[in-house]
Structure 1
Amino acid sequence: MGSASNPDDTETNDSVTVLTFDLEGRRYCVRAESVESVLGVANDDPLADAADPWDAGTVTLAGERVRVVDLPRAFGSSLRTTARVDEPKLLVFAVTDDEGRYYGWLVDDVDVTRSVRPASLEPLRVETTHVKGRLEIGGEEVVWLDERTIHG
């Protein structure tokens, strides 16, 4: 993977595996090694009605608590709850918060893992702390999210 001197891997030419996923018709990715599992969500009504999409609630999966970030609402309109996809997915990350809860991102759909070169990242036109940059994967523009800043 990356060099020890650069834990972020954004400046190296080494290949990194990312997991791609969709939010409201846009393609995003995150480092695949940071994702513990991907789960289907049968009923997201309690999460969709949460007052704060950045802390949309906690679900228990296999005895573990997962703090959910509702990314479609956090990145889109906070009022968007009726136009959700039928079966959203939950990306569960391998890190926990101060209360021992895992982090989970509610997303529209999950695609596959891809190998990319972080050195090919281009900056966004808008300054944001949640994004590492953008790159092209398979002819599509993909926004690489920074899970560390999203988790706070």
Structure 2
Amino acid sequence: MDSAGHRDTTDSTETVTVLTFDLETERYCVRADAVASVLGVTDEQSIAMADDPWNAGSVSVAGERVRVVDLPRAFTAASRTTARIDDPKLLVFTTADTDGAYYGWLVDDVDTTRTIDAARLEPTQTSSRLAHVKGRLEIDGDDVIWLDERTIHG
């Protein structure tokens, strides 16, 4: 368990199911059990116009408020314009913040879940800019960056 009471999912003796998704040309993953649902987004215009991609507004899902992190913009250099795809997805997470709002990540495309051996995770050099990256691994021949949703949500 970590200091917040969460089970450490990178124990070298366990398998973990991850959900893979894309942002532009990069492939990412997150623990599948942290994701409550994947939704299509029909009108992301207000999210795209938000000043802060890390707090790009909120949407209502099944009567619950979901704070949106616009990952394509958050992970892109400010000098580069991110081209929007026609059918972005919203990953809605299972954990609510102290205000009772859930978190959602706007992403380009969502793939499937994969069960992987946690020992395959290669840690990356940590810096404050990359604190949300758990490491890298190869899944089905693709280089995948594993994101730590707890770090991104604070």
Q: TM-score, normalised by structure 2?
A: 0.90
Equivalent residue number for residue 120 of structure 1: 120
Q: CA 1:80–1:60 in structure 2 vs 1: closer, same or farther (change >3 Å)?
A: farther
Unaligned runs of 5+ in 1: none
2:133 to 111, 131, 134: 131
- State the partner residue of 1:61: 61
Aligned to 1:36: 36
How far has the Cα of 1:28 moved from its partner?
Answer: 0.2
- Which amino acid in the other structure matches residue 136 of structure 2? R
Q: CA deviation at 1:77?
A: 3.0
Counterpart of 1:151? 153
Once the two structures are TM-superposed, the CA of residue 55 in structure 1 deviates from its matched residue by 0.4
Deviations 1:31-85 (A, max 9, x none): 0000000000011000000000000001011111000000000111346666111
After superposition, the C-alpha distances for 1:83-115 in whole angstroms (9 at most, x for unaligned) are 111110000000011111100000000000001
Which aligned pairs between 1:24-103 and structure 2 lie closer than 5 A?
24-78=24-78, 83-103=83-103
More off after superposition, 69-78 vs 132-141: 69-78
CA distance in 2, matches of 1:6, 1:126: 20
1:79–1:51 Cα change, 3 Å: farther
Query: In the alignment, is the contact (CA less than 8 A) between 2:73 and 2:82 conserved in 1?
Result: no
Deviation at 1:11, TM superposition (A): 2.6
Change (3 A) 1:82 1:129: closer
* Separation in 2, partners of 1:30, 1:8: 13
Query: Could you tell me the TM-score, scaled by structure 1's length?
Result: 0.91
The one-letter code sitting in structure 2 at the alignment partner of 1:133 is: G
Q: Considering only aligned residues, what root-mean-square deviation do their CA atoms show, in Å?
A: 1.7
Q: Which amino acid aligns with 2:14?
A: D
Q: Does 2:16 match 1:19?
A: no
